[in-house]
Amino acid sequence: MSACTLVVRCGCAGGGKGALVSDEVSLTLSTTNTQTLFADEGGTMIVRRLTPLECERLQGFPDNHTRIPYRGKPAEECPDGPRYKAIGNSMAVPVMRWIGERIAMADEEEPR
């Protein structure tokens, strides 16, 4: 990205903590389709939504992992809504891998 500051915003519709904004960490994705990026370019805020592909990458999934046949339509016509929902209901692959490795290490150390 150019010489702009990138801020990740995840909002919560209908309650919760409301909009969460952070300059330094990536916040949790939600299933409400409110994931947006703010780019501060010379005092002008540019807002755009994260794409399903970007959300998949943040969660550690392969590209287009959630693009599947949907309601009789081919994968290429899969709408974004169900993709956001699947990603938001998932667990981050790198985190699950880390937890699994720690469990395996603990099992190896424990006498049987």
Tally of structural domains, the chain = 1
pTM over 0.75? The answer is no
Average pLDDT over residues 33-49: 64
The CATH number that applies at residue 54 is 3.90.120
Half-sphere exposure of 35 (CA within 13 A, CB side): 22
Domain that holds residue 12: 5-109
- Does residue 93 have a pLDDT over 70? yes
For residue 8, give the nearest of 48, 44, 62 by alpha carbon.
48
Q: What is the pLDDT of residue 35?
A: 55
